[in-house]
Amino acid sequence: MTPTEFDTRIVLLEPLGQGASGVVYRAALVNGASRDVAVKLLHRGGVGATRPQLVEFRREIDILRSLDHPRIVKVLGACLAPPRMSIVQEFVDGGSLHEVLHSSEHDTVRDGANFGGSEDASSDACAPGTSLSKISFRAQLTVAVDVADAVDYLHNSCDPKVIHRDLKPQNVLVDVRGRAKLADFGIARRFRTTFLDTKNHAIGTLNYMAPELFGDGKGVDVSCDAYSFAMIAYEMFTGEFI
């Protein structure tokens, strides 16, 4: 879409989070009936962005558009021109796994929501008003399986394989029904050779990065995502910050 179409169809409502490349907003997509979406808007709307930043942005869009899996956030559109350079994605209504696990002020589950993902609401459903941070073991397993399913798709169903490179609880979105979706493909790569950036140093989130990412990049493959997934699982099942 063009910047004019963005201003006509998108209403930014509130910031959800901020990263190195931009800010993610909850927004309303006005296209007939209004619906909530998530909009990742580059800093300053892309005005003054460097060539490497533009390359990264276009690569993220290209990768997202190639993915089709229920446990990965869907891209709905994009604006490639300043001052509205952005990615429009589906909105996940429960927050990040990090918030679910560690925030005492996280939003509560909607009335009647079954966060355990079980058909038997009596066994794992959260009562109305129960904090999402207090989730059952079965609910944790549901999230773990959802994330593993998404990673398996990236590694074994995509050609070439896609390496996320930044798996962490902040990039796992959990809806109020307890189902997880993988998000933020800002530093993802299609697997060909190594995964060092153009400045020749490893990138990602320190506490979730596989040890081999700190070397010369040789031998790095999809297993770096497997390591990060294991760190997420450890944090989720123990409740400890990594």
Binding site as annotated, residues for ATP: 40
Output the known binding site: 40
* Alpha helix ranges (H) inside the chain: 3-9, 51-66, 97-102, 121-124, 137-156, 223-238
CA end-to-end span of the chain, whole Å?
Answer: 39
User: Beta strands of 43-198 (E only): which ranges?
Assistant: 75-79, 86-90, 162-163, 172-174, 180-182, 189-190
Cα dist. 66→18, 69, 160 in Å? 24, 10, 11
Q: Are 195 and 175 in contact (CB under 8 A)?
A: no
Using DSSP bridges, classify how beta strands 10-18 and 22-31 pair: parallel, antiparallel or unpaired.
Answer: antiparallel
Single-letter residue type at 186: G
